[in-house]
Amino acid sequence: MAGALLFAPLAEAGDKESERLNESRDVLVELAGINEGAPRGVLEKAKCIIVIPGVKKAAIGIGGRFGYGAAVCRTDNGEGPWGPPLMMSLKGGSVGFQIGGQSSDFVLLVMNQKGVDNLLKSKFTLGADASIAAGPVGRNAEAGTDLRMRAEILSYSRSRGVFAGISLEGASLRQDTKANHAIYGKRVDPRTMLLRSSQSIPPEARGLVDAVERLTSGREPGQ
């Protein structure tokens, strides 16, 4: 009985994080599968993809938000397969957060190695530590995006069913230590987790990683 009580919190947290990973997969598939979503060519160039589903408006502070999601990166210096996710949290932000509605989904595309290096920190601020720009939307939006492609991170938001590129300057991203422990059963090293192809992908994360692989390989999106 004592053993069951001891492990109950971990099992409950695992269920919660599994749901978060599934929601992240669904948001990403929808972003790539609609005409007004992220151009497939932009997704294919990303070094890492961060999905934060169901970001809520904070009760205090102007423009504040908080949400929890996951980051998936290409291993072997961006040349290898997509690796297992690192659980992340997003908090704070500026008036640019005010897209409308009480809950929004966010997708952040890390486009170069400098952006990846920031992701490996325990915490970094968008716009201060890492340059960020609203991502181009639409199937024909890739032309003329040179300025945006210089940014380390491109960001997208969906509120009330509509995706749009949006700037998230002032928001902070940090590693979600408790969620990572719930998924992996131990403290994880972000550099090893995100960048080395030898790391196994837990069953709870297989759906998200499979979706990322499919959406960046030229294949049609789908569940």
pLDDT at 81 over 50: yes
Can you give the pLDDT at residue 7?
Answer: 34
H or E stretch at 25: helix 2-33
Would you say the C-alpha torsion 35, 52, 20, 218 has a positive or negative sign?
positive
What residues does 91 pair with on adjacent strands?
Answer: 66, 172
CA distance 70 to 73: 10
What residues does 155 pair with on adjacent strands?
Answer: 108, 134
In this predicted model, what pLDDT tens digit does every residue of 11-58 receive, in sequence order? 444 688 999 999 999 999 888 776 666 778 888 889 999 999 988 765
Q: How far is CA 76 from CA 140, 174, 195, in A?
A: 31, 22, 6
Can you give the pLDDT at residue 198?
Answer: 78
CA distance 182 to 87: 10
CA distance 31 to 96: 20
Number of alpha helices (DSSP H) and beta strands (DSSP E) in the chain = 8, 9
CA distance 60 to 72: 31
* Beta pairing class for 132-134 and 153-159: parallel
Question: Of 59-73, 139-153, 194-208, which gets the smallest average pLDDT?
Answer: 139-153
Can you give the pLDDT at residue 141?
Answer: 56
CA distance 52 to 194: 17
Higher pLDDT, 77 or 218: 77
Cα–Cα–Cα angle for 102, 104, 110, rounded to 5 degrees: 150
Largest pairwise CA distance in the chain: 63
CA distance 66 to 174: 11
- C-beta atoms surrounding 99 within 10 Å: 16
H or E stretch at 123: strand 123-125
Higher pLDDT, 39 or 148: 39
